[in-house]
Structure 1
Amino acid sequence: MTWVYPLSDPRVAGRFFDGQSSGGRAACASVVGDQLHLEVSGETRRYSADQVRLGVQVGKASSYLHLADGAVLESLDVPGLQGLSLALKRSGSASWLQRLEVSPRLIVCSLVAVLVFSWLGVVYGVPWLSNQIAHALPVELERHLGEQSLEALDSFWTEPSDLSEGRQQEVLTAMAPYLRAMQQAYPKHPLQLHFRASDDLGANAFALPGGHLVFTDEMVALAQHDEELAAVLAHEVGHVIHRHGLRNVVQSSLLVFVMVSLTGDISAASDITVGLPSLLANLSYQRGMETEADDFALAFLRQQGIAPQRFADIMTRLDPPATKEEEGGAAASRLDSFLSTHPPTPERIQRFQTPD
């Protein structure tokens, strides 16, 4: 199907701006043969089809014909300008880009191609590129970022551990063989274990960039066996080895760049229509990182002769199975899983309960 813009008058009136001064002059445009003829102040300017580009109309504002010498023809007769542009395209001398601008089929195909490549870029390109960038950055930068993150954490979320010196030393002694094994396997990643108290975080453990591993007092108290803490430690070290902290920073920056590139407006990055897809993409990336850390932990536990069930046991206590009353809110539960930064806990537990 071809779109045709009928012209009630083959001549379109408007104002001509030469691109050198702000003043405009009355002008009249028409298509003669394969050229645009523009009558301005008693003289005729001629432009071939590849020297004319139809501007994009915004709302009910005037439309424009952009000319090769930097000049512009502005007119409120939008259908008239579209008709002139289409007549030039039909002359056969238009460039492929100009034909693209007025071809509905090519426009739709281009839109589909942009959407497909954008989706592929967000789903596959951003994680791959962020991984390459994160592993190319020096470990010293990551360590500095981790130290700053730990300072910020201590300023706003955590307090010094309430565990006795004796209990802290017991845990450190129990973890020492596993830390040594990991350090020997990955000498470029120094590991340091920290204990913190936090009512807000509860029973938790997490890895900061640069090998800082933080266990809350509640997490230590939740464990019924040192091997359970070793299983959690292995999971957090998986984050360090795969440089997930740094990758998160890089991915967030790349996502903002992609969204701004697609919208053409940096202020739109905070808009919900742009921010929501970015948020959902980030959640998906983080779930992938948690699975990657679980893979590392599972392999390490088997290598060290620790039953993977240890990880399943402490995870079950950390996130108990839902009761029948809680299962009634199935829709809310599915939404929570969709918006979670972690894979569903039952799936994670089942992985560590499955025999070799």
Structure 2
Amino acid sequence: MFEAELVCWINSSEVLLLREDDRTLLTRCPANAIDLGHVVGSGPVNVTLADGWLFQTDDHDITILLNESGLSRNLRSWEALRPRLVSVVLTTIVCTWLLWKYGLGILVSIAIALTPPPVINAMDYSAMQTLDRLLADETELSDKQQDKAQGIFLDLVRELPADQRDGFELHFRKFPEEFGPNAFALPGGTVVLTDALVNEFAKDDDAIAGVLGHEIGHKVEAHGMRQIYRSLSVYFLIALIAGDTGPLLEEFLLEGQLLLQLSFSRDHERAADDFGLTLMSKAGYDPEGLKRFFAALEKYDGDSDWYSTHPLSKDRVDSIENFIESGEYR
């Protein structure tokens, strides 16, 4: 790399590249054979000559002499660091936030409505295959225990409107001890009870009904699909703005999205609690059972709920008490 001078004249058809110290002619080529590349804001201008010489300069007036296109010149002007650029960036940030806050909910609802049931069922099947391969073992519950829970499950499903009953299946799995008494619902209606939950509440049908009603609520309200589509929407929105996210930004997005989604997950959990209370009451079960379930789970709560997608059990017990006292489930 050395100092050089690019000599050109307005309306000239030829450009000369001279060595700065001794004015030696390094190369010459037609002006229309020069490649300016893309000039970014106030960054350097890279001029590639026809025979491979690369001339770099901070003088942007050279782009005028070399007949830079009007579109490229306007784009470079907008990219320069000026108050105008700052206002454009701030406007973009505000519009992005408004779209994420208010627009994504509408788009997610549309996406859910347009998702074919076979696709959702395939998601359930794939999730169960993964769980069985990595975490879960075959249930050790007796046929009597399974039949009893299945009966409670069918009681609840029968109370749903006819157009909401399709797709529900109840499965049992044994999970590692650290999972404790647990249950979850997949987007297509597959509900899983752990052996630990059935064993711990073997004599409390109302508690099991409350848990199952809660999980049924997740499916009916499409909470799982909403979480999936919202997460994908946020990721693609940031990728659209930032371009290729790269591994570091991808890791940041995954961690950041967990925090962004906490409020939605907790809202979904509270909504599923209310749904379960109403459904189990209609099916003839005592809503106090769900309160007993969460009271028993308090020992599994950590010291902080910051990283939890679920509200703390003690807070849920309080919310259920208020819900029962209000009589809203009747």
Provide TM-score, normalisation by structure 2.
Answer: 0.74
- Render the CA deviation track for 1:40-89: whole Å, top value 9, x for unaligned: 2599979xxxxx9842467xxx43589xxxxxx975432x32x7789xxx
Q: CA deviation at 1:232?
A: 0.8
Q: Does 1:278 align with 2:232?
A: no
Once residues 261 and 180 of structure 2 are traced to their aligned partners in structure 1, the CA distance between those partners, rounded to angstroms, is 24
Is the 8 Å Cα contact of residues 260 and 269 (structure 1) preserved in structure 2?
A: no
In structure 2, the CA distance between the partners of 1:268 and 1:202, relative to structure 1 (3 Å rule), is same
Q: How do 1:298-313 and structure 2 match up within 5 A?
A: 298-304=277-283, 306-313=285-292
Task: Specify the alignment match of 2:107 in structure 1.
Answer: 129
Once residues 258 and 101 of structure 1 are traced to their aligned partners in structure 2, the CA distance between those partners, rounded to angstroms, is 21
Once residues 347 and 37 of structure 1 are traced to their aligned partners in structure 2, the CA distance between those partners, rounded to angstroms, is 79
Aligned-residue sequence identity (percent) comes to 23
Unaligned runs of 5+ in 2: 17-27, 65-71
In structure 2, the CA distance between the partners of 1:321 and 1:140, relative to structure 1 (3 Å rule), is closer
* 4+ runs deviating over 6 angstroms: 36-39, 42-46, 83-86
Q: Does 1:343 align with 2:307?
A: no
In structure 2, the CA distance between the partners of 1:178 and 1:260, relative to structure 1 (3 Å rule), is same
In structure 2, the CA distance between the partners of 1:293 and 1:64, relative to structure 1 (3 Å rule), is farther
Q: How do 1:1-356 and structure 2 match up within 5 A?
A: 27-28=6-7, 40-41=15-16, 54-56=39-41, 62-64=44-46, 76-78=56-58, 80-81=59-60, 100-102=78-80, 104-182=82-160, 184=162, 186-187=164-165, 189-200=166-177, 201-223=179-201, 224-268=203-247, 271-304=250-283, 306-320=285-299, 333=303, 336-354=304-322, 355-356=325-326
Q: CA deviation at 1:257?
A: 1.7
Amino acid at match of 2:204: H
Q: CA deviation at 1:155?
A: 1.9
Once superposed, what is the RMSD of the aligned Cα atoms? 3.9
Q: CA deviation at 1:176?
A: 2.5
Amino acid at match of 2:139: S
Task: Specify the alignment match of 2:24 in structure 1.
Answer: none
Unaligned runs of 5+ in 1: 1-12, 15-25, 47-51, 67-72, 87-93, 327-332
Once residues 281 and 131 of structure 1 are traced to their aligned partners in structure 2, the CA distance between those partners, rounded to angstroms, is 19
| Secondary structure in structure 1 of the residue aligned to 2:309 | coil
- Render the CA deviation track for 1:298-333: whole Å, top value 9, x for unaligned: 3324544544332121011012397xxx8xxxxxx4
Is the 8 Å Cα contact of residues 174 and 226 (structure 1) preserved in structure 2?
A: yes
In structure 2, the CA distance between the partners of 1:202 and 1:97, relative to structure 1 (3 Å rule), is same
Q: State the number of aligned residues.
A: 300
Amino acid at match of 2:213: A
Once residues 29 and 151 of structure 2 are traced to their aligned partners in structure 1, the CA distance between those partners, rounded to angstroms, is 92
In structure 2, the CA distance between the partners of 1:218 and 1:39, relative to structure 1 (3 Å rule), is same
Q: CA deviation at 1:258?
A: 2.1
Q: CA deviation at 1:146?
A: 0.8
In structure 2, the CA distance between the partners of 1:269 and 1:241, relative to structure 1 (3 Å rule), is farther
Provide TM-score, normalisation by structure 1.
Answer: 0.69
Is the 8 Å Cα contact of residues 208 and 240 (structure 1) preserved in structure 2?
A: yes
Once residues 213 and 95 of structure 2 are traced to their aligned partners in structure 1, the CA distance between those partners, rounded to angstroms, is 37
